[in-house]
Chains A and B, each alone.
Chain A
Amino acid sequence: DAKTTQPPSMDCAEGRAANLPCNHSTISGNEYVYWYRQIHSQGPQYIIHGLKNNETNEMASLIITEDRKSSTLILPHATLRDTAVYYCIVRDPWGKFQFGAGTQVVVTP
């Protein structure tokens, strides 16, 4: 299974863009990168996913490097409600998600 590496924590100022990095250097060609977040004591929430092209939706943008060994989740205008643990996951070919420790993002006023 491909593994991911994320920084354990990061702070972001409210209203600024938050750029969350993720390394997945052993990713295979058919494995997708998914991002979820988990607000304290709630279930994880889907954010976005992609294979090799950059993706954007109403919540965030996902930038995947050309060699697919890393990606960045961008929250364009962070709000206090974006404080959460963010998980970068490489989904294996059998469909399973393997959650890591994630990045604790704290958005400050």
Chain B
Amino acid sequence: ETGVTQTPRHLVMGMTNKKSLKCEQHLGHNAMYWYKQSAKKPLELMFVYSLEERVENNSVPSRFSPECPNSSHLFLHLHTLQPEDSALYLCASSQDWRDISGDEQFFGPGTRLTVL
């Protein structure tokens, strides 16, 4: 247990569906992240939120829409996805994303998404 939970753990959706991924951290951290891990590819940073404000958006298509209502919760809203969006989506949190000297990220277990 890392203190970061993600739901659901597995999700199958059609290309016309709308679904949401949820992440919750119980660590009192100020920063939260979404990563994507496709098969046989490195983890890709998608979004960074610091104190509920989006501070990084790594050229992610608009069919992925993040939401951070407070510092403990992070959502990723999905709509009109493509089969190539099938991947493991990982959430992480850290105390201060700007603190490069000692700010380790704690990852959740991920949501395995399959788009049909």
| B residues adjacent to A (C-beta < 8 A) | 2, 4, 42-45, 48, 56, 88, 90, 92, 97-110, 112
Inter-chain contacts of B56 with A (CB < 8 A): 96
Flag whether A25 is at the interface (Cβ < 8 A): no
Contact present for B100 and A95 (CB under 8 Å): yes
Q: How large is the interface on A (under 10, 10 to 19, 20 to 34, 35 or more residues)?
A: 20 to 34
Could you say which of A42, A44, A46, A102 has the most chain B C-beta atoms within 10 Å of its C-beta?
Answer: A44
A43 touches B100 (CB 8 A): no
Which residues does A use to contact B, with CB under 8 Å? 30-32, 34, 41-46, 49, 51, 91-102
Q: A43-B2, A97-B45 are in contact. List 4 more A-B contacts (CB 8 A).
A: A41-B112, A51-B101, A91-B100, A99-B43
Is chain B's interface secondary structure helix, strand, loop, or mixed overall? Answer: loop
Chain A residue at minimum C-beta to C-beta distance from B94: A95
CB distance from B99 to the nearest CB of A (A): 7
Residue of A nearest to B45 (CB): A96
Closest 4 CB pairs of A and B: A43-B107, A99-B43, A46-B104, A99-B42
Bound together, the chains give a CA A34 to CA B101 distance in angstroms of 10
In the complex, A63 Cα to B105 Cα: how many Å? 21
| Chain A residues whose CB sits within 8 angstroms of the CB of B107 once the complex forms | 43-45
Greatest chain B CB density within 10 A among A32, A93, A97 is at: A97
Bound-state Cα–Cα, A100 to B42, Å:
5
Q: List 11 A-B contacts (CB under 8 A).
A: A34-B104, A43-B90, A43-B92, A43-B109, A43-B110, A46-B106, A49-B102, A49-B104, A51-B101, A95-B98, A96-B56
A92 vs B98: C-alpha distance in the bound complex, in angstroms?
10
